[in-house]
Structure 1
Amino acid sequence: MPEGHTLHRLARDLGVAFAGRRVRVSSPQGRFAASAALLDGRVLVGAEAWGKQLFVELEGDPPGELDGERFVHVHLGLIGTFDVHTAPAGAVVPDPVGQVRLRLVADDADADGTDDDAATTAGPTAWADLRGAIVCDLVTAAQRDAVVARMGPDPLRPDADPDRAFEAIRRSRKPIGALLMDQSVLAGVGNVYRAEVLFRDRLHPLRPGNTLQRSRWQALWDDLVALMPQGVATGRIDTVRPEHSPVATGRAPRRDDHGGEVYVYRRTGQPCLVCGRRVATAVLEGRNLFWCSRCQPVFRSRAVG
């Protein structure tokens, strides 16, 4: 499932391609057709990600009205994709291919209420196709806010409050490896970032959340805040420090369809890049864990009695 950096990157790309432009909205597949008809011809205001949730905002009717359905809520799930394309002004938009739930096409001819040639070529040709998402709904601002309220803080958002997540963690006896994947505790972290930040911060994934000191949590949060924007910028997850990189160590670069240089994720049985011990794996709440038993020792409580 795409992690938070993918959604923030997508929101950025949608904004660059469409923000401030009138869009043609359609549903070639047909499943979003009724909602697409309500949105067709509106100006796209922008797109915003909260964790793994994406909200595309379109202008209200009348323009600027805060009520009414004007947010497209998207959750990509395991197989969803939202591909954004741009081409020089005047290029022909290709016909949709496959099961396209939602299609956006920039329509500058109507953006300023005119149909002259200058308006038609005001910006590059842009279109975007959504396929395979588990959620594609037209929602109100209140419904958008309700979805956001159910989520924990997102390390990629400047308004995020890490103390909210810590309060949930310190009250829970569940393993920290499970809590990091709970979107109501922490928004946007998936299996890759979970495995990697726990390794980088030397935390065993099965350590109970209520044993984590605030300072350890702050260090983990700060690591996510540093790592995840890199994923937004590059489109891949790289977590290996320079001293453990292929260039520094002479090892071969990682070859994996997820891309990126990582310490433990999907490296079961391979030597740890730091200590050489074999990377371990187990299943927790239906998802695979990866860790190094030497670099991430089992937590031993110092409590007496």
Structure 2
Amino acid sequence: MPEGHTVHRIARQLGRDLVGHRLRVTSPQGRFAAGAERLDGRMLVASRAVGKQLFLEFEGELVLRVHLGLYGAWDLHGRVTPLDDGLAPLASLGAPRVRRAVRVGEGESELAEPAGVDETFPPAPVGQVRVRLLSEETAADLRGPTACEVLDPGAAAAAAARLGPDPAAFDDPVALAAAGEQVVDAVTSRSTAVGALLMDQSVVAGIGNVYRAELLFRARLEPHTPGRRVPREVVRGIWEDWTVLLADGIRTGVMLTREDLDDAGRACALVDRDARHWVYRRAGLPCHVCGTAVQVEDMATRKLYWCPVCQV
């Protein structure tokens, strides 16, 4: 499932290329035809993420809420402005021609067009496209989301309020620290295992399976520990760590959680998924720290990876 950093990058990308434009909104698949009709022809005025949820605000006080879930992704075509992260552009900049596209979901990847194809913009929708947002130069196709609905501002605010704090929502250090204390209170007042609490989006927004495993390992915390038995300073440290990891993920588009890497190792890990993590997807392999085989089990409906020696 796309985690918080990916949804923030989607919000920023759509903000760069679609905010301020009056959009043609359609549902090629047909499943969102009524919602698309309500948004069609309106200007997109804001694009923001809260945790794993995207809120696209249109003129006329209408909000498109999207939750990608396990299988959702956005395919972007045409002019796709590079984000300020020092990385290569996500897609070709020379609109309005389509030579390649980009998929933004659990992993960002270029979708190369077949050799010799030089299709005029916009390309015909391919497959089950729930929603297409179309400007003069950019097309954004949403496919496979768990949630896709048009809300009024009050309902959108209520949906966001049900989520726990998201570090990327705070510019003020005082407000960020206060949000962290909210997370500390939520975790330490519950008897639920901390490994499940970190996946509870009402406790803290944006953490998914990868970041859950890695944050717990970095804190050297046993995942089955009841929240009320975790020291407040440990939970506070996890929040502060999440703040740093989320910002790095938003900047690079990569969940890189090993702080032991030098510059060369980090450069390698940015392109090699297997070098990025301490424990995630390393079941049966030796722990990078102690050499014990990394364990895997189900917790909160997802695979939990952890080291039974380092995390005690």
What TM-score bracket applies, with the shorter chain setting the length? 0.7 to 0.9
The residue identity in structure 1 corresponding to 2:299 is L
Quote how far apart the aligned CAs of 1:155 are: 2.4
SS at match of 1:276: coil
Counterpart code for 2:279 = V
Determine if contact 1:245/1:261 at 8 Å carries over to the other structure.
no
Change (3 A) 1:269 1:98: same
Residues 263 and 24 of structure 1: CA distance in aligned 2, closer, same or farther (over 3 Å): same
Distance in 1 (CA, whole Å) between partners of 2:153 and 2:31 is 22
Structure 1 residue 135 corresponds to structure 2 residue 135: no
* TM-score, normalization by structure 1: 0.82
| 2:78 and 2:96 in contact (8 A); partners too | no
Determine if contact 2:133/2:139 at 8 Å carries over to the other structure.
yes
Are 2:246 and 1:234 equivalent residues in the alignment?
Answer: no
Q: In the alignment, what sits opposite 1:86?
A: 78
Determine if contact 2:256/2:269 at 8 Å carries over to the other structure: no
CA 1:9–1:254: 2 relative to 1, 3 Å: closer
* Paired residues for 1:191-210 under 5 Å: 191-210=209-228
- SS at the partner of 1:242? coil
Structure with larger Rg? 1
Instruction: Report if the CA contact (8 A) 1:80-1:130 is conserved.
Output: yes
Task: Compute the displacement of 1:90 (Å).
Answer: 4.1
Contact 1:237 1:259 (8 Å CA) reproduced? no
Q: What is the match of residue 183 of structure 2?
A: 165
Q: Which residue of 1 aligns with 2:55?
A: 55
Distance in 1 (CA, whole Å) between partners of 2:270 and 2:49 is 29
Native 8 Å contact 2:74 2:143 kept in 1: yes
Q: How far off its partner does 1:36 sit? A: 1.2
SS at match of 1:152: coil
For 1:98, the equivalent position in structure 2 comes to 127
Q: Percent same amino acid among aligned pairs?
A: 46
Any conservation in 2 of the 1:181–1:191 contact (CA below 8 Å)?
A: yes
Whether 1:144 aligns to 2:156 is: yes
1:12-41 per-residue CA deviation (whole Å, 9 max, x = no partner) reads 000001111111111111111122122111
Instruction: Report how many residues are paired.
Output: 268
The Cα offsets for residues 51-87 of structure 1, whole Å up to 9 and x where unpaired, read as 1111111111xxxxx5xxx100101111011123333
- Find the residue that maps to 1:8 and give its secondary structure: helix
CA spacing shift, 1:151–1:234, aligned 2, 3 Å: same
Q: What is the aligned partner in structure 2 of residue 4 from structure 1?
A: 4
Q: TM-score w.r.t. structure 2 length?
A: 0.81
